Amino acid sequence: MLPVFQSDIRDEMDNLLAEIDQYMLDHTKTSNTLIAESVQNLIQAGGKRIRPLLANLTAKFGEYDREKMIKIGAGLELLHMATLVHDDIIDESAIRRGEETVQKKYGQDRAVFVGDFLYSSSYEIFTRVLSRSALSRLSHVVKFICQGEVSQYQNRFNYDLNLRDYLRRIRRKTALFFSLSTYLGARESSLNRGLNNFYKLGLEMGMAFQIQDDILDFSGSEEILGKKICQDIYSGIYTLPLIYLLQSEEYSRPLISILSRDNFSSSDITDILALVKDAGSLEKSRQLGQRFIDRAENQLAKINSLYSGTEIIQVFKKIIKYQIERHQ
């Protein structure tokens, strides 16, 4: 649960997310013990649940159907979990949210089955509750998310990445999923005005979210994050703080010298962190993240001019601000 809500709305959001979790548990029941145990552990491991939250908050501007939006929220979260399971397979990640990943616990082959089960479970929900136009948008976005994942994989250990490459990647990998969440919330609650503003609101929030994620991979606490810091570097995935170094005449050569070492070790990570600090890469990254925060706030202001919903607007403002201030 996001730590941004006052007590009056926190109870409402807690109850909503608890119902979404329960629906996910009920919907994914299966006689296959491996899948059942894996999915149950993933759901009960928690998480921010920001995608179903964004969908439900957006829907409150229109004709809010709680039962329908609980199902849509569950579908979004199951789809997100599927992408995480497959991410962990590709990255060979051992820890996620402080727990062993599915691929670490059961092996990559079985983890593929779990990820596929989650994908199919989410689409089963979506085909039951979404309108035809919303299903079309969903399929379009999922296609781009997959392309983003493939692009990230193809560009592992690539020293020639630039800022445009990075922004395109995170737009597809993360931001489009946020925009899908706000879009579905608006579309499925009969919000015809400002539909593009809701879409862009999610998009800008998603960009800021991923930039902060990449900052935390260098500056966060392993205990709070629930995973090893600089995990992306070990996987050959170079994110914004490193891209700023790679584009620098002063820092690119020493960075590449470290990255190209055989038997990459924790001492090499220490050397990279020193370069990142010396170059001010984290501060540059925060400044870029703030630009997307400003753009999200601009979209929210346009939405505020179209719809009355002062309380929801204030909640969105807090969530937007949280994207760049969070520590996990």
User: Per-residue confidence of the chain (328 residues) as pLDDT tens digits?
Assistant: 555 555 556 778 889 999 999 999 999 999 999 899 999 999 998 888 999 999 999 999 999 999 999 999 999 999 999 999 998 888 888 877 778 888 888 889 899 999 999 999 999 999 999 999 999 999 999 999 999 888 899 999 999 999 999 999 999 999 999 999 999 999 999 998 999 999 999 999 999 999 999 999 998 766 655 567 788 898 899 999 999 999 999 999 999 999 998 777 889 999 999 999 999 999 999 999 999 999 999 999 999 999 877 788 999 999 998 888 876 6
- Domain-located, residue 315: yes
Instruction: Read off the CATH number of the domain in which 37 is found.
Output: 1.10.600.10
Question: Helix crossing, 7-27 with 50-59: angle to 10°?
Answer: 110
User: What total number of domains does the chain contain?
Assistant: 1
- Domain-located, residue 254: yes
Tokens of residue 167, six digits: 């922004």
- Which pLDDT score is estimated for 2? 56
Expressed as residue numbers, the domain containing 195 is 7-325
Task: Count CB-CB contacts under 10 A for residue 8.
Answer: 8
Tokens of residue 243, six digits: 């891209």
CA 293 to chain centre: 15
Tokens of residue 308, six digits: 């009355």
- Domain-located, residue 2: no
- Domain-located, residue 234: yes
**Is the Cα torsion angle 178, 180, 186, 188 positive or negative in sign?**
negative
- Domain-located, residue 1: no
Tokens of residue 270, six digits: 């220490």
- Domain-located, residue 25: yes
Task: Count CB-CB contacts under 10 A for residue 127.
Answer: 11
- What are residue 315's DSSP bridge partners? none
- Domain-located, residue 211: yes
- Domain-located, residue 131: yes
Q: Is 130 helix (H, G, I), strand (E, B) or coil?
A: coil
Alpha helices per DSSP H over the chain: 7-27, 33-44, 50-59, 66-91, 102-106, 108-129, 132-154, 163-170, 176-187, 195-219, 222-225, 231-234, 240-246, 252-259, 266-279, 281-306, 310-325
Instruction: Look up the pTM and report it.
Output: 0.92
